[in-house]
Chain A
Amino acid sequence: MTESWHGYRGLARDLLISAGVDVGDEVEVVKPDGEVYRGYLMSRYEHAEEGYIVLKLRNGYNIGIAITKDTIVKRLGPGPRPAFRRPEPPHLDPSLPRVSIVSTGGTIASRIDYRTGAVKPALTSEDLITLVPEIAEIAYVEAEVLLSKFSENMTPSDWDVIARKMDEKIRNGYSGVVVSHGTDTMHYTAAALSFALAGTPIPIVLVGAQRSSDRPSSDAAVNLVAAVRVAAHAPFGEVVIAMHDWHSDDVIAVHRGTRVVKMHTSSRDAFKSVNARPIAYVRDGEIILNDQTVNRRGGDGYSFRPGFSDKAALIKFYPSLGPGIIDYFLDKGARGIILEGTGLGHVSSEWIPALRRATSMGVFVGMTSQCRYGRVNMYVYENGRDIMRAGVTPLEDMLSETALVKLMWVLARASDLEEVRNYMLTPIAGEMSPRTLPTRMRPDAA
C-alpha cells in the first residue's frame, strides 16, 4: 500500500499530487462523462474507501467523487485562508483565587475550522478563557499543557508525572488545580492521585467531556466551569472528579477519586460514585456539600508519596476461566493480583491450589466483586472460606479499579506480603469504609 497523502491513497493520491493541488485549494474535477464539479479539496478519512476525492462545495456541503484514471483534476487556485482574529479575552482578576488548569489530553475547549472540519484544541490560558469566559469570573486561571494523551494510553508512570505536577502546584500555593483528562480511564488516574496526594490541602479536580468540545452541545464548558469553581472555592482538600450528574446541564456531581467509575459509554452522566455518595454537587454556581467527612481545605495531613509499581494485575473471573491465568501473571513477575470475583467474592474452587501457590510465593491476592455495588464477604460460603484459607485477602467495599491502583501504589513502597496486606486494609484516601449504605441508583436523586 502506498503511503497516504492527507488520507488519500492509490490512484486518488497520484492524481492529486500530479495535479499539484493542496488540501484547501479550489479545484475542478471533470469526470470521463463530462460532469464537472468545483469545490475545495478536503482531506480524506484514513479508513474510507479508496477511489474517491472529497470536495467541499461552495454551499458548504462535502461530497465524494468517484475517480478513474480518466478523471481530470485541475487546480483553480488557493481556497480562502483562515485569518484567525482572536476576540478580546475577558480580563483576569488577580484578586480571585489562583487556579491552575493542567491539560493531560482530551480537549476541554476547542475551535473548529469549518473549512476543513479540523478541531484545534485551546491550550493556552488565553484561548481557554476566550472560549469559556465564565471561568475568569470565578478564578485567576493559568493553563498549562502537561501531557497530550488519550486516556486509554495512560500508564502508571504518567500518573506519577501528573502527581509530581500536582505536588508542585500545592507547594506553590495555588487554591486548587483542575486536571483535564480523557474520560475513559479518568477514574484510574483519580484513584492514583488520591493515594499519591493523600491529605491534599487543596482540591485537585479532574474533569473531562463526554461530548467533544467542538460541538455547541458539549458538556466540556459546563463541567470546566464547575471544576474551576470547586478548585477555587470548595471547603475541602480532596482529589475529585467533577462531571454531569444526569442528562441535564444544571447539576454537576463531585465524586471522591477513589469511589468513582465510568458507568456509561457515551452519556454525560457516565461517572457515578459507587458504595459512596458524591461528596458535593455544583448547582446554580453554588457548591453544595454532600459529605461531612471530607478532608477540610488547608488541613495539615498532606504527605506526598509518589511512585507506582506495574507489577500488579486485575483479573475478572468468569464461568469456565481456569486458574492458568494466575500462573501466567506469576510467570510475568507479578507481585500482586486483584481478583474481580463473583458475588460476595468467589472464584471457582478449582483455583484454590493456584491461589495458594501465589500467596506462598509472597504475592498479594486481594478479592473484590464484579457486582460493583456492595461489600465482599467470604465467610458466608464454604468456598469463600477455602479461598481465604488459600491466603486471599477480602478488600471490603473497595472498587476493583481502585484496589488495583492502590496495589500498584502499595507495591512501590511495601517490602513484604504482610506489609502489603496491612496497607491494603488501611484506608488511605476514603477508598473503603466499614459501613454499607443503601444503593442509590435513581438518576434523578440529587
Chain B
Amino acid sequence: MNYQELGLRVGVEIHRQLDTDRKLFCHCRTSPTGDEKIIEFTRRLRETQSELGEIDPAARFEMKKMRRIIYRADPGCTCLVEMDEEPPHRLNEEAVRIALTVARLLNARPVDEIHVMRKIVIDGSNTTGFQRTCIVAMGGRVVVDGQEIPIQTITLEEDAARLVEAKPTYVVYDLSRLGVPLIEVSTAPVITSPEQAAKTAYAIGKILRATGKVKRGIGTVRQDLNVSIRGSGITEVKGVQELDLIPKIIDYEARRLNHLLGLVEKLKQRGITPEMVQSERPIDVTDIFASTSSKVISRKLAEGGRVYALRLPGFAGLLKSHGDEAVRLGRDLSEYAKAWAGVEGIFHSDELPGYGISHAEVGSVVTRLGLGEHDAFVMVADRQHEALEAMEAVRNRAAEATVAVPGETRGPRPDGTTFYMRPRPGSARMYPETDIPPLVVTRQLLEEIESSLPPTLDELAARLSERYGLSRQLVWELIDSERLSEFEELVGIGVQPSYAASFLTEGYKELRREGHPVDEVSFDKVKEYFRLVVEGLTAKESAKQVLTYLSHNPEASALEAVEKLGLKAPPMEEVVEQIDRLIAEALSAQPKSDPTGQVMGRLMKTYRGRVDGSLLNELIKKRLKLLREGRE
C-alpha cells in the first residue's frame, strides 16, 4: 500500500495513568484496597441541551439508548466525588507537576493558568455525564528517527469508570478507576506511515516513563489514533493498548477508507444521491420466511421478531469485498445496525443466498422490493422496534456513502481491524468546570520542575549498565518491562544484579508464556522470597517454581510456597554430613581422581532449588581440603 499516494495522515494521542497519591479531583487512593463492601446504585443521564439547540451527535447516540446505568462503588477508593454526590476537590498538584515535567521534556510551553473543562460524555463512563480535562501545556516536539513530530497539547484528565457489562437495557460500570489522573499527549496529524506512528507512540511513552510517576500494567496505557486519507473524514480509533497493533490498525484504516472513497465515486457514477437512499422505506417481509431454514431468522421469529428488508438503490455489488476481504461496506452497515439498534447483525444481498437463506426466499424479497438490476438490499430479523431502528441506521449510513467517507469513532480488534462504535463528537461539547477555580502556573513552580528534572531513559540506561555491569540490552529490557524500581529493590536486599535483571525480564516472560498469571503476584511476596534466598533458607534456583506456585495460590506467602514445594534448605550439618559421606564413597571407588564433579552431581539431585549450587561447590572444596589436610 502506497501511503504517500493515499495522503495518509495520522495523529496519535497517548494516554497514561499517573501513579499519584490521590485521584485528580478528590482525596481517594488510585487503586482499590479490596476489603470494602461494594455499594451499587443506578442512574440515568440526559443530554443537556446546548444553546445552539443542537444535540451533540455522540450524545444523541447514547441518548437514543437511554440505558439504565448501574454503578459499583468501592468505598476503599471512591467517595462522594466519584459518585457525583459532592463537588470536585481542587486539582491534584502532584499530577500537575508530573504533567509540567512531561511538558518540559517535550519542550512544550505551559499555559499560564490551567482551566478545568467539562467534556460531555454521556455513555455512563463518567457519573457526572462529562469528563473533567484541562490543557497544561501546548506545542513542543518529539524526535522520531531524526524527524520532529510536533506536539499539539498536553492535557490532564480524569480517567473514566471501567465498563463491566453492557446490555441493551442497562450498563454496569466500576467506579474504582474514575478520577485516576491521566496524562494525554497529542501529536499533530502529520505522521505519514503506520511504522512512524508506532515509533512516535513509543518515543512519547519513553518520555512519560522517564518521570517515574506513571502506572504500569494492563489498562494503564491507551493510545487513540486519528487516521485519515486524502478526501476522507477522520477515523478516531479509541483505546489501542498494544504498540504492535498500531501499524496494523493504521494500515487497515487506510485500506478501509480507500475502499469507501472508491465506492463514493462508483455511486456518483451510477447517479445515486442521498435523497434517493433516504426515500426508501423498510418493508415487512416476515411472511416470506415463515418456513425458512435460516437458523438465525427462525430463532428471531420464534421470539416474536419480524423480518424487514430495505432497498439500497444502485448499491448492487458494492456491499461485498473487492479483493481485500477485510474491508467491505456490508460489514460497516452491519456495525451501524449493531451499534444504533442493538441487533445481532444484518444480511445483505451481495452475500445471499447464504446463511440458510434460500435462492427462492431471496427471489421473493427481490420481487417484493421491486429491485432493479443495480439495486441491493439489506435485511434484518429482530423485534419490530429494533429491526426498524437498524434499518434506519443502515439507511443513514448508506445515504452518506453516496457523498463522503464519514468521520467515525471506532474501536480496535485484536487482529488489527476496527469496528464502528459511535459518531465523532462535535466540537461544541466543552464548557468550564465552574466548581474548580483556575490554577496559576507560577514561575516558582516551573523553576522547581526545571531543577528536579528526571534523567531521560537513555541516560538512565547508560548509568545503570555502568553501575551494575549489565548489558545495554538487559537494561533496556528492564526499562521496557517497567521493572526498574523492583530491580533496584532486589539488588538492595543483596540479590546479584545480573540475576535480578534476568529474572525480572526473561524469567517473568517465560512463565507468562507458559500461561502462569505471574503479573498478579504482588512484588512484596517476590521480595520476601528473595530475602529467604539471601538468608540461605532456600536457593535462587527455586525462583521460577515459587513464582509459579504463588501465581496460582494467591493466599500463600513466599515462605509457605517454599515449604509447600519442599524447597526449604536443610540444616547445614545435614548437608556437610552428606558431602563427607559422598566424598568418602567416591574416593573409595576411585582414590586417584578428583571427586568434586561426581559429588556435586549427586548433591544437586537432592538439593536442587533448596541449597545454592555455588554454596555446595564451595562446601565440597572446603571438606576435601580439610580431608586432605587431615591425611597429611
- Residue positions of A touching B, CB distance < 8 A: 35, 42, 45, 47-49, 52, 54, 57-66, 82-87, 110-115, 117-118, 120, 130-131, 210-211, 213-218, 221-222, 246-250, 265-268
What CA separation (Å) do A62 and B114 show in the bound complex? 8
Give the 4 A-B residue pairs with the shortest CB-CB distance, closest first: A216-B129, A64-B113, A60-B430, A113-B51
A-B contact number at CB 8 A: 149
What CA separation (Å) do A45 and B437 show in the bound complex? 8
- The answer to whether B41 and A266 have CB atoms under 8 Å apart is no
Which residues 84-137 of B sit at the A interface, judged by CB distance below 8 A?
Answer: 84-87, 109, 111-115, 117-120, 122, 127-130, 133-135
Interface membership of B483, Cβ < 8 A: no
Chain B residues near A218 (CB, 8 Å)? 46, 48
Could you say which of A58, A60, A85 contacts B429, with CB atoms under 8 Å apart? Answer: A60
Pull 17 A–B residue pairs with CB atoms less than 8 Å apart, ordered by A: A45-B437, A47-B437, A49-B440, A60-B428, A61-B153, A62-B432, A63-B111, A63-B113, A63-B138, A112-B48, A113-B51, A113-B431, A215-B129, A216-B45, A216-B130, A249-B42, A266-B85
What CA separation (Å) do A45 and B122 show in the bound complex? 27
- The answer to whether B47 and A111 have CB atoms under 8 Å apart is no
- Residue positions of B touching A, CB distance < 8 A: 39, 41-54, 59, 80, 83-87, 109, 111-115, 117-120, 122, 127-130, 133-135, 138, 153, 155, 427-432, 434, 437-438, 440
What CA separation (Å) do A83 and B427 show in the bound complex? 16
What CA separation (Å) do A132 and B86 show in the bound complex? 24
- The answer to whether A120 and B51 have CB atoms under 8 Å apart is yes
Chain A residues near B42 (CB, 8 Å)? 248-250
What CA separation (Å) do A83 and B115 show in the bound complex? 26
- The answer to whether B52 and A84 have CB atoms under 8 Å apart is yes
Chain A residues near B432 (CB, 8 Å)? 42, 62, 117
What CA separation (Å) do A211 and B122 show in the bound complex? 16
What CA separation (Å) do A113 and B54 show in the bound complex? 11
- The answer to whether B130 and A61 have CB atoms under 8 Å apart is no
- The answer to whether B430 and A64 have CB atoms under 8 Å apart is no
Summarize A's interface: helix, strand, loop or mixed: loop
Chain B residues near A115 (CB, 8 Å)? 51, 428
Q: A48-B438, A63-B113, A131-B49 known; 4 other A-B pairs, CB under 8 Å?
A: A61-B133, A65-B112, A249-B43, A268-B85
Chain A residues near B49 (CB, 8 Å)? 87, 111-112, 130-131
Residue of A nearest to B139 (CB): A35
Chain A residues near B59 (CB, 8 Å)? 216
Chain B residues near A120 (CB, 8 Å)? 51
- The winner among A110, A115, A221, A247 for most chain B CB atoms within 10 A is A247
Chain B residues near A64 (CB, 8 Å)? 111-115, 438, 440
Residue of A nearest to B63 (CB): A216
Chain A residues near B434 (CB, 8 Å)? 45, 117
Chain B residues near A60 (CB, 8 Å)? 117, 119, 427-430
- The answer to whether A215 and B130 have CB atoms under 8 Å apart is yes
Residue of A nearest to B84 (CB): A217
What CA separation (Å) do A393 and B417 show in the bound complex? 79
What CA separation (Å) do A47 and B437 show in the bound complex? 9
Could you say which of B39, B50, B128 contacts A217, with CB atoms under 8 Å apart? Answer: B128
Summarize B's interface: helix, strand, loop or mixed: loop
| A86-B53 in contact given A59-B153, A60-B117 (Cβ < 8 Å) | yes
Could you say which of A54, A63, A84 contacts B51, with CB atoms under 8 Å apart? Answer: A84
Chain A residues near B135 (CB, 8 Å)? 57, 61, 63
Residue of A nearest to B115 (CB): A62
- The answer to whether A111 and B41 have CB atoms under 8 Å apart is no
- The answer to whether B48 and A214 have CB atoms under 8 Å apart is yes
Chain B residues near A216 (CB, 8 Å)? 45-48, 59, 120, 122, 128-130
What CA separation (Å) do A64 and B49 show in the bound complex? 27
Chain A residues near B134 (CB, 8 Å)? 61
- In the assembled complex, the CB of A83 is this many whole angstroms from the nearest CB of chain B, namely 7
What CA separation (Å) do A152 and B336 show in the bound complex? 50
Residue of A nearest to B433 (CB): A117
- The answer to whether B127 and A217 have CB atoms under 8 Å apart is yes
Chain A residues near B46 (CB, 8 Å)? 216, 218, 221
- The answer to whether A267 and B112 have CB atoms under 8 Å apart is no
What CA separation (Å) do A62 and B431 show in the bound complex? 8
Residue of A nearest to B120 (CB): A216
What CA separation (Å) do A131 and B49 show in the bound complex? 7
Residue of A nearest to B431 (CB): A117
- In the assembled complex, the CB of A109 is this many whole angstroms from the nearest CB of chain B, namely 9
- The answer to whether B113 and A66 have CB atoms under 8 Å apart is yes
- The answer to whether A61 and B50 have CB atoms under 8 Å apart is no
What CA separation (Å) do A66 and B443 show in the bound complex? 11
Chain A residues near B122 (CB, 8 Å)? 216
- In the assembled complex, the CB of A224 is this many whole angstroms from the nearest CB of chain B, namely 12
- In the assembled complex, the CB of A311 is this many whole angstroms from the nearest CB of chain B, namely 37
Residue of B nearest to A246 (CB): B41
- The answer to whether B117 and A217 have CB atoms under 8 Å apart is no
Chain A residues near B51 (CB, 8 Å)? 82, 84, 111-115, 118, 120
What CA separation (Å) do A35 and B130 show in the bound complex? 31
- In the assembled complex, the CB of A36 is this many whole angstroms from the nearest CB of chain B, namely 11
| A114-B429 in contact given A49-B440, A217-B128 (Cβ < 8 Å) | yes
What CA separation (Å) do A35 and B140 show in the bound complex? 13
| A48-B48 in contact given A64-B115, A217-B84 (Cβ < 8 Å) | no
Could you say which of A61, A87, A130, A215 contacts B48, with CB atoms under 8 Å apart? Answer: A215
- The answer to whether B112 and A52 have CB atoms under 8 Å apart is yes
What CA separation (Å) do A440 and B381 show in the bound complex? 51
- The answer to whether B113 and A65 have CB atoms under 8 Å apart is yes
- The answer to whether A217 and B428 have CB atoms under 8 Å apart is no
What CA separation (Å) do A63 and B134 show in the bound complex? 8
- The answer to whether B437 and A113 have CB atoms under 8 Å apart is no
What CA separation (Å) do A191 and B86 show in the bound complex? 27
Chain A residues near B43 (CB, 8 Å)? 217, 248-249
Residue of B nearest to A212 (CB): B434
Could you say which of B45, B50, B114, B115 contacts A111, with CB atoms under 8 Å apart? Answer: B50
- The answer to whether A35 and B50 have CB atoms under 8 Å apart is no
What CA separation (Å) do A86 and B49 show in the bound complex? 10
- The answer to whether B84 and A211 have CB atoms under 8 Å apart is yes
Could you say which of A35, A52, A114 contacts B52, with CB atoms under 8 Å apart? Answer: A114
What CA separation (Å) do A86 and B53 show in the bound complex? 6
What CA separation (Å) do A35 and B48 show in the bound complex? 36
- In the assembled complex, the CB of B83 is this many whole angstroms from the nearest CB of chain A, namely 6
| A267-B80 in contact given A85-B52, A115-B428 (Cβ < 8 Å) | yes
What CA separation (Å) do A65 and B438 show in the bound complex? 11
Residue of A nearest to B53 (CB): A85
Chain A residues near B39 (CB, 8 Å)? 247
- In the assembled complex, the CB of B178 is this many whole angstroms from the nearest CB of chain A, namely 12
- In the assembled complex, the CB of B351 is this many whole angstroms from the nearest CB of chain A, namely 39
- The winner among B42, B59, B128, B438 for most chain A CB atoms within 10 A is B438
Chain B residues near A250 (CB, 8 Å)? 42
What CA separation (Å) do A45 and B51 show in the bound complex? 20
- The winner among B39, B50, B120, B431 for most chain A CB atoms within 10 A is B431
Chain B residues near A266 (CB, 8 Å)? 80, 85-87
- The answer to whether B128 and A215 have CB atoms under 8 Å apart is yes
What CA separation (Å) do A247 and B109 show in the bound complex? 42
Chain A residues near B155 (CB, 8 Å)? 61
Residue of B nearest to A222 (CB): B44
Residue of B nearest to A113 (CB): B51
What CA separation (Å) do A59 and B429 show in the bound complex? 10
- In the assembled complex, the CB of A3 is this many whole angstroms from the nearest CB of chain B, namely 22
- In the assembled complex, the CB of A132 is this many whole angstroms from the nearest CB of chain B, namely 8
What CA separation (Å) do A331 and B87 show in the bound complex? 42
Chain B residues near A249 (CB, 8 Å)? 42-44
| A82-B52 in contact given A62-B432, A65-B113, A217-B43 (Cβ < 8 Å) | yes
